Structure 1
Amino acid sequence: MVKGLMALGMVAASLGMAQGNISGEITVWSWDIAAKALQATVPSFNKKYPNVKVNVVDLGNQQVYDKGLSGCAAGGADLPDVYSVENNEAEVFWARFPGCFTDLNTLAPSANAFKGNFPAFKWTELQVGNKIYAIPWDSGPVVMFYRRDLYQQAGVNPETIETWDDYIAAGKKIVAATGAKVGVIANGQDDEWFRMLANQNGCFYFSNDAKSVTVNKPGCVSALETVKKLIDSGVVMQGGWNEQIQAFKAGKVATAMFGGWYEGTIRSNAPELEGKWGVFRMPASKKGGVRAANLGGSALALPASSKNKAAAWAFIRHALATTEGQVTMLKEFGLVPSYLPALKDPYVSAPSKYWGGQAVWKTILDTLGQVPQARGTQYFQEARQIVIKAQADYVAGRVKSAKEALDSAARQISAATGLPVAK
């Protein structure tokens, strides 16, 4: 026992020395709520590492991705010390620029030491063989964020909504009673709704082994048909990210379907609506179907060109691999933890005043185990642009069926990537 205590004391002492020896300045690139969340972890990080200055820079999502690609293409020039990357885009970097980011298993402690503290599926797109290039950050279990007051005004109980047909029927009642739509679908800008619906149907652009194109499989066809049905029924708006925020602040939209991280977007942009929001599970394609999907989820990587890897690695570990870091980001900005020990924190099961007393995080996190797997691959962006065009053509009536639109998309994705269309 004494030897054990002595050993623990030596570890603590060496850790303290290591923390004291880490100093300097690091730059972190991120976007929107994610950047604010990382900034929120800096005070607790600096209690451990007082000699490190952390500069969190909000470049915007697309800028981070674009500047990451150009920086890697230039041999790591002008990249930050800590780089935010979405999971479904991560394989683009590892495949095309294998030397651009640090294998975190070469650092101390190695990334392998943390693997058991995250869900296995979160590592799929972050490692190549025995190399780990990023640590999982958040996940995006999809739910429906809804305005309690507008639903009540229309006499709609969200607990009665089980399928997308139910949702459309409820949406018509809400539009008639309040004028508010029940969702915002991107118009030629993104295919987020398609991806969420396809994921719940067990379908995605590519197979889970990343060896074939599967976007024209039945689950994806059904998803695209539902997107058009929603638009044609008049219950949803069409617009982009900013339009959605403006609409829910103005009471013009009664529901937002997004990953759980959108909780922070609503709460931070509309504090005046406290108590008027609630959450329910996304509708299924059919009765008894899956009512879960994932949208988003990011990771933090360490560019190989960083001049202060020790401080960058310490910051990544503090933000993502401690309950303190993860729960701080959950409390302040609604980023859903991937770090499993953080899910045991009392805050996760506590009722939320903003959400009308609902234990909103329990509702959100209870869906995680039902989310079907999906793989972005290194070709995610190419496929996404092709599917956005296919969706726009089908919704506008330029293509007569969802199957025809997605068959065409599958052929184009195959030609662009060299992967065969699945039989």
Structure 2
Amino acid sequence: MRMTLGRAALALVLVTGSAPAFAQTGEITVWSWNVAASSLESTIEGFNAQYPDVTVTVQDLGNQQVFDRTLAGCAAGGAELPDVLSIENHEAEIFWAQFPDCFTNLKELGYTEEIAAGFPDFKRVELEVGDVAYAMPWDSGPVVMFYRRDFYEKAGVDPEEIKTWDDFIEAGKAVAEANPGVVMTRADFNGDTEWFRMLANEQGCGYFSSDGSEITVNQPACVAALETVKKMYDAGIITAADWDEKIQANTAGTVASQLYGGWYEGTIRSTSPDLAGKWGVYRMPSVTEDGPRAANLGGSSLAIPNNSDNKEAAWAFVNYALGTNEGQVTMLREYGLVPSLLSALDDPYVKEPLPYWGDQAVWVDILGTLDQVVPSRGTPFFGDADGIMNAVQSQYLNDGFDSAQAAADDAANQIALVTGLPIAE
């Protein structure tokens, strides 16, 4: 028979951080994907030290399968869903909008405002609707520039002097000249809007307003981001490459920089192990000299379906993995998943110089921007807006529009047709 933990006792556990007076029992299943699934598995040992009678099974279904099966399960009234689900932040509102009764309000299980306040606002904005918290923030993607120290040094480029994107362009020309066959950076212009979204978020803009009620992709800050991407493209310092091609370029030594969320640290380290000591990290440049230099790309959350037969054990696991430094830093150390939990900044591991990164304490630099990231709403229409912007961006880069404003206006009009939302004045 499954033994459950009373709400009062559970609240005490959350406040004290100690193991319960009597352990919960039973089994819970978690759906996730790839390195995220492996990261969750790495926390089970620590979780079982506090909850030895709970068996956790993590199933790696792949990103698209988790999304598709969650939608199908919710449409079927919660049938065949697990006890815990991984949900990407930018897709989260698709689920809450269509199936609000499919997920447990975590506040009913012990997700207090005090716990929630331990995460930056940009991670919570898409996970909470009114007084309901549908999911708990997991990893994040604070954006930084990963760079090859040797290529920069050969060109006489000091990354600390790169404050603006104009500086980055000039540095890129110098790096290419000093290192034949090396391009400053790469972007997936054929299949993604990653660079536009990172620069737009840095400037405080996105596809939609902060409350999700208006289309804002043609506002000045977004226009400036799009214009900046084309400026780099026209200067020849940024060329097209998909995910696999970027990794190949890293290993082959044909690229000097990669702009990505902090989780890319694990990708570089694991796929290019022979380049230890040659890579470093610096803050992303801005549009202006004194402009913002923080953005986010990627990140997920964990939710508990309403049909779970063991919600208390599911919550205990979620709160251990995501709400404790021990859980979050275990995933950071083992698989490079970047914590959203602000207190993780105080963990000794975060401050350690890492040999692969030339003894730079890269996690201090990466996590140090978390509280500066401006929230950006995905809304239930993210997929529609992103697909439209991807096509518009490609056309704009190939001189299909007279200006960035004209391109952004076109994207806004198309998004309005698809979503029915008004365009912000």
Q: CA deviation at 1:44?
A: 1.2
Matching residue of 1:120: 121
* 1:146-157 correspondence runs (5 A): 146-157=147-158
Matching residue of 1:256: 258
- Mapped to 2, the partners of 1:211 and 1:256 lie a distance apart of 33
* 1:18-417 correspondence runs (5 A): 18-19=22-23, 21-24=24-27, 26-107=28-109, 109-112=110-113, 114-178=115-179, 179-417=181-419
Could you tell me which runs of 5 or more consecutive residues in structure 2 were left unpaired when the two chains were aligned.
Answer: 1-11
- Mapped to 1, the partners of 2:239 and 2:33 lie a distance apart of 25
CA contact (8 A) 1:263 1:333 kept: no
CA contact (8 A) 1:141 1:260 kept: yes
Q: CA deviation at 1:15?
A: 5.1
Q: Which amino acid aligns with 2:25?
A: I
Q: CA deviation at 1:192?
A: 0.8
CA contact (8 A) 2:86 2:301 kept: yes
Partner secondary structure for residue 338 of structure 1: coil
- Mapped to 2, the partners of 1:356 and 1:67 lie a distance apart of 43
What TM-score do the two structures reach when normalised by structure 2? Answer: 0.91
Could you list the structure 1 runs, at least 4 aligned residues long, displaced by more than 6 angstroms after superposition.
none
CA contact (8 A) 1:245 1:269 kept: yes
Q: CA deviation at 1:17?
A: 4.6
Matching of residue 16 in structure 1 with residue 20 in structure 2 = yes
- Mapped to 1, the partners of 2:99 and 2:333 lie a distance apart of 35
Identity of aligned residues (%): 57
Partner secondary structure for residue 155 of structure 1: coil
Give the direction of change, closer, same or farther, for the CA distance of 1:112–1:289 in structure 2 (3 Å limit): closer
Q: CA deviation at 1:360?
A: 0.9
CA contact (8 A) 2:120 2:370 kept: no
Q: CA deviation at 1:269?
A: 2.1
CA contact (8 A) 1:207 1:375 kept: yes
Moved more, 58-67 or 278-287: 58-67
Q: CA deviation at 1:134?
A: 0.6
What TM-score do the two structures reach when normalised by structure 1? Answer: 0.91
Q: Which amino acid aligns with 1:144?
A: M
- Mapped to 2, the partners of 1:72 and 1:264 lie a distance apart of 33
CA contact (8 A) 1:23 1:51 kept: yes
Q: CA deviation at 1:82?
A: 1.4
Give the direction of change, closer, same or farther, for the CA distance of 1:115–1:277 in structure 2 (3 Å limit): same
- Mapped to 2, the partners of 1:410 and 1:79 lie a distance apart of 36
- Mapped to 1, the partners of 2:394 and 2:260 lie a distance apart of 20
Partner secondary structure for residue 289 of structure 2: coil
- Mapped to 1, the partners of 2:68 and 2:200 lie a distance apart of 27
- Mapped to 1, the partners of 2:165 and 2:114 lie a distance apart of 43
